[in-house]
Each structure stands twice: as structure tokens, then as C-alpha cells.
Amino acid sequence: MALNDRLTGRKPPVPTDAANGDGRNNGVRPPVRGGPLPGQSLDAAPSMYSVKRDDEGTLNPLDQLKVDLHRRLISRLDLDALERIKSEAELTSQIRQAVLEFIREEATPLSQRERDEIVEQVIYEVTGLGPIEPLFRDRTISDILVNGARQIYVERRGRLTRVNATFRNDAHLLAVIDRIVSRVGRRVDEASPMVDARLPDGSRVNAIIPPLALDGPILSIRRFSTDLATSQLVQNGTLTAQMLSIFESCVKARLNILISGGTGAGKTTFMNALSSFVPAHERIITIEDAAELQLQQEHVVRLETRPPNAEGRGEVVARDLVKNALRMRPDRIIIGEVRSGEALDMLQAMNTGHEGSLTTIHANTPRDALSRLETMILMANSNLPNRAMRDQISSALHLIVQVARLSDGTRRVTSVTELTGMEGDVITTQEIYRFARRGISPDGVVLGQFESTGIRPKFLERLAVAGAALPAEMMGAGAW
Ligand SMILES: Nc1ncnc2c1ncn2[C@@H]1O[C@H](COP(=O)(O)OP(=O)(O)O)[C@@H](O)[C@H]1O
Ligand SMILES: [Mg+2]
């Protein structure tokens, strides 16, 4: 079926129609008018979300007609087909054509101007994110944070700044939020005022609206940049080349690695980078709340948890997925972030031969990460005594990598800590690398350098046994 037909929900025409027909299908597009006038942004154009209402709050008949038409149009458009069109000009022209035809079929008494307006609104509806649209297209922006209609912040190269744009009002912002999340099959309304979703490009979206958010709808878009390759992490000072090559060996030698850090510290990004070292012949299963990992390997099975539906049923938590993944003959299990009971299942899996797993945890120090793991094990309703719990942890996990977002916006691996065993009831650890801060320069740059602590990691033997290539500097005597 031609795209244009799918857009309008029309049956494909039989070929003879096209030959002697009205010329719709011969590739000639109807002349296009409309579009924002020079100097007039779409955002400033009148919109369905700001149609005038009389005092009773009802619409005048013409506005009502426009609203109806608009709604039916949107429900008939094949948004998936639209999403696959890469060229913007092509997209716009396809929508315009489909909409004009739809309006023609309707035989509604609309002036040319009103028709153009509807065309514009639909294009905007399908493609537009209102005032954040240009921000969204700007690839140098990593995060877009909207605090109600009037406040929009962006993060660029690690720095948060407020931008001038605003939404018209909270209803406008809500409409944009709705547009974003409904396209990925989620919804946000009073019954479910919080939503966490992933956009087709991998960006992660969170929205929370009143009454939970006190000052209007809040939208947080965190772009997951796929282009932070391992080499860029070295270039931008996240870690040194030597550290990276050690991590490469650790991943290949199937060490279980926990990446710890605060929100936005770069945990997911770092885990994604580490995952690139998993050999291509292994079967990888990923488990995430909102899939954002972008694994390069071919043999990857991606699982995503599911929130409960409006009636509170149908929830599938990470723990269920971990248990299921174990029955899928995984070589590696990668869990986006451990938050709760799944931590226990993951540790048990690591202890029973599923080694080489990677996951992240929200914690401020490696010690904090360990105590959080304990709390999570408790959430799994296990009756493990403390000592047994710590045994599980210390025998399962090999490395904790602490990442942080420093005050100047840079991300650093601030500590690489090895778990070495137990002493009495306490898990013993040793730090192998750290980022030593030396202060802050007058222009706000955090000064410091990566340091090897000089301790020889226990995992070196493991790396050697696994045949992982050791970095040359680690082979020489006295390197540690
Ligand atoms: N090492 C890094 N260098 C530069 N930017 C980074 C780095 N790690 C993450 N980022 C950026 O920081 C933001 C948050 O990263 P993410 O990995 O999602 O954090 P977390 O998982 O810890 O919440 C993203 O926009 C990402 O592009
Ligand atoms: Mg993350």
C-alpha cells in the first residue's frame, strides 16, 4: 500500500483508477500552501490546545469541528509509517498531502486559511515537540529538563543552562508530554501521573504531573548518546587508556562488574562502553526498566520490565525477568540497574556459573554500593543472615567501578575497587585506581589526576588464566 494511502487509511486504489483517475497517484503533489509565515513560529500559531472557549467552556461550532477533524485525522494517520521517514521535507509533504485529501473528502465548510491551519497543526502534532523541538534536534544537548511551562533547562557538555523558550501554558506542555509518551505506548494522566519511557532514538523520558508535581508537569529527557565510544571516554578524560585496557581484559575474562554512581553520573554510558568488549559469539540478555543500552553485538536478547496497568495488574518486575533469563541459556546477563530484589537473583546467578555479568547501582561510594546491595537482598524477602548475605556478595562480585559527575560537568571513573573476600563479617575490598582531586581552577575546572594505588589486583591471575591480554605495563616487574 502506498504510504499516502496508509496515512489516510484509504484502501489501495486499483491500477485503472490511477490511469484515468484524478491524478492523485501519479506522483504529482497538490500545490502546497500554508506553513508558518516568515517570522512566525509554529509555536506562536494558534493551536487546538488554545482554541477559544466561551464562558461555559464549550467551543463554538467551527472550533468544535476543527477539533473533531483534527482528532479523527490523528487517529487515522499511521504514525509508525511516518516515523520511518527520515527526510523531513518528505515527511512534511506526505503529511500535507494526506491531510489535504482527508479534508477534501470531508466536504466541511472550511476556508483555505483554516485548512492550512489544520495542516500545520497536524504536521506539528506528528513531528513537533513545541518549544523543545529545536532543542531535541540539537545533538550537542544531552538533557532537556522542563519544569512546568515556563522553565526549560538544557545540559550541554555537562553544563546546565536555562533557555529562553517557554510553553504557552501547562496544558500545552501536557499535550507535548502526552504526544511523546503515547507514541511509545505509555500514557500519563491523573490515574498514572508518572511515566518512564524510552524514545525510538534511545533517549529516556520521564514525566511526572500534578498532583504529584506541585508546580505543573515536569518533563525530563535524558539523551542517551550512542556516540560515546570507548575511545571518546578516554579522550574526554573519563578514564585513562590503561584503565580502559584493563577493563577490556576484565570483561573478556568474565569478571562480574558493578558500576556505581549517582543519577546522570554516566553509569549506563560506561556499562554500554564496557559491553562492547563482550565477545561477539556470546549470547547476551539485557534486562532494563526502560531499554537504553545499545549493544553492538548481533546476538542480543532485550527484555524490558512492565509497569502495572491502570487496574494495577500485569506488572513484570526485573526479578521475574532475571529468573526467566536464566532459563534462556544466556552467556551474559546485563541488568540496566539493580534497584530491588533482582539483586539477589543476579548475585545467585553470578555465583552459579553465569559470570561476566554487568550491572549498575545508584550509590555514592563503593562501600555505599555494597550496603545498598544488602538492602536490596532484604527486599527480596530472603531470610539470609548478614554473614551469608555478604558471602554471596563478596564471592559473586569482582569489581566496583565508581563513576561521578564532577562539579565542572565532566564524568570520571573516581574509583576502581576490587572485592577481595571476607574478614569476619566484613567484606574486604582494595582500591586499585582512583581519581585524586587537587582542587578547582579559577574558571571552575576540577583539577586532578588518575592514580594507580600500587596495589596488585587479585584478578590479575584470573585474567592470565582466561588468556586475556594484559596491558604491557602490567606485565613488567614492579608495575604495581
Ligand atoms: N563519560 C562521559 N562523558 C561525557 N558525557 C557522559 C559520560 N557518561 C555519561 N555522559 C552523559 O551524561 C548523561 C547521563 O548518562 P547516563 O549514562 O545515562 O547516566 P546514569 O546511567 O548514571 O544515570 C548522558 O547525557 C550521557 O551522554
Ligand atoms: Mg542509567
CA distances, 13 to each of 1, 2, 80, 405 (Å)? 9, 9, 22, 58
Strands 399-405 and 257-261 come out as parallel
Closest atom of ligand 1 relative to the 223 alpha carbon: 25
CA–CA distance, 118 with 34 (Å, rounded to integer):
10
What is the distance, to the nearest Å, from the Cα of residue 429 to the centroid of all Cα atoms in its chain?
Answer: 32
Question: What value does the CA radius of gyration of the chain take, rounded to a whole number of Å?
Answer: 27
Ligand 1 site, residue 264, Cβ cutoff 6 A: yes
DSSP, collapsed to helix, strand or coil, labels residue 387 as helix
Q: How confident is the model at residue 272 (pLDDT cuts 50, 70, 90)?
A: very high
Ligand 1 site, residue 404, Cβ cutoff 6 A: no
401 versus 16: the higher-pLDDT residue is 401
Q: Are 171 and 49 in contact (CB under 8 A)?
A: yes
Statement: residue 62 has pLDDT above 60 = yes
Whose alpha carbon is nearest atom 6 of ligand 1? 266
CA–CA distance, 337 with 257 (Å, rounded to integer):
12
CA distances, 85 to each of 89, 198, 200, 393 (Å)? 10, 19, 13, 48
pLDDT at 16: 39
Phi, psi of 186 (to 5 degrees): -115, 170
- Average pLDDT over every residue of 17-38: 35
Ligand 1, from 226, 269, 276, 334: best to mutate by most atoms within 8 Å of Cβ? 269
Statement: residue 15 has pLDDT above 70 = no
Distance 143 CA to ligand 1 centre (A): 10
DSSP, collapsed to helix, strand or coil, labels residue 46 as coil
Q: Return the C-alpha cell found at 472.
A: 604491557
Q: How confident is the model at residue 84 (pLDDT cuts 50, 70, 90)?
A: low
Q: Return the C-alpha cell found at 404.
A: 561521578
The DSSP letter of residue 362 is E
CA–CA distance, 66 with 272 (Å, rounded to integer):
47
CA–CA distance, 292 with 266 (Å, rounded to integer):
13
Q: How confident is the model at residue 1 (pLDDT cuts 50, 70, 90)?
A: very low
pLDDT at 33: 34
pLDDT over 70 percentage in the chain? 76
CA–CA distance, 49 with 55 (Å, rounded to integer):
17
Q: How confident is the model at residue 100 (pLDDT cuts 50, 70, 90)?
A: confident
- HSE, CB side, 13 Å, CA atoms: give it for residue 433: 21
Q: How confident is the model at residue 27 (pLDDT cuts 50, 70, 90)?
A: very low
pLDDT at 315: 92
Q: Are 357 and 256 in contact (CB under 8 A)?
A: yes
Q: Which of 176-190, 217-231, 312-326, 445-459 has the lowest mean pLDDT?
A: 217-231
Statement: residue 282 has pLDDT above 70 = yes
Q: Please tell me which of 34-43, 118-127, 249-258 the model is most confident about, judged by mean pLDDT.
A: 249-258
pLDDT in tens, 289-325: 888 888 888 899 999 999 888 788 899 999 999 999 9
396 bridge partner residues: none
Domain 131-222 classification at class level: alpha beta
As separate numbers, helices (DSSP H) first and strands (DSSP E) second, the chain gives: 17, 15
pLDDT in tens, 140-190: 888 999 999 999 999 887 788 999 888 878 888 888 898 888 877 788 888
Statement: residue 205 has pLDDT above 60 = yes
Distance 460 CA to ligand 2 centre (A): 29
With 0-12 CB in 10 A as exposed, 13-18 as middle and 19+ as buried, what is 93? middle
Ligand 1 site, residue 411, Cβ cutoff 6 A: yes
pLDDT at 72: 72
Q: Which of 78-87, 202-211, 307-316, 349-358 has the lowest mean pLDDT?
A: 78-87
Ligand 1 site, residue 204, Cβ cutoff 6 A: no
Ligand 1 site, residue 268, Cβ cutoff 6 A: yes
- Average pLDDT over every residue of 314-338: 94
Ligand 1 site, residue 332, Cβ cutoff 6 A: no
pLDDT at 51: 36
DSSP strands (E only) in 130-250: 141-147, 151-156, 159-163, 194-198, 204-208, 218-222
pLDDT in tens, 136-146: 878 788 899 99
DSSP, collapsed to helix, strand or coil, labels residue 315 as coil
Q: How confident is the model at residue 232 (pLDDT cuts 50, 70, 90)?
A: confident
Domain 230-475 classification at class level: alpha beta
Distance 55 CA to ligand 2 centre (A): 47
Q: Domain residues of the chain, as ranges?
A: 3-126, 131-222, 230-475
pLDDT at 472: 54
Beta sheet of 151-156, edge-to-edge order: 159-163, 151-156, 141-147, 218-222, 204-208, 194-198
pLDDT at 142: 86
Average pLDDT, the chain: 80
pLDDT at 156: 86
CA distances, 11 to each of 1, 18, 226, 308 (Å)? 8, 13, 39, 37
Q: How confident is the model at residue 59 (pLDDT cuts 50, 70, 90)?
A: low
Q: Look up cell 538544557; give the residue.
A: 154
Ligand 1 site, residue 269, Cβ cutoff 6 A: yes
Q: Whole-prediction pTM value?
A: 0.63
Q: Which of 31-40, 70-79, 206-215, 435-444 has the lowest mean pLDDT?
A: 31-40
CA–CA distance, 187 with 197 (Å, rounded to integer):
10
Q: Look up cell 483508477; give the residue.
A: 17
Ligand 1 site, residue 233, Cβ cutoff 6 A: yes
pLDDT at 66: 65
- Average pLDDT over every residue of 182-211: 84
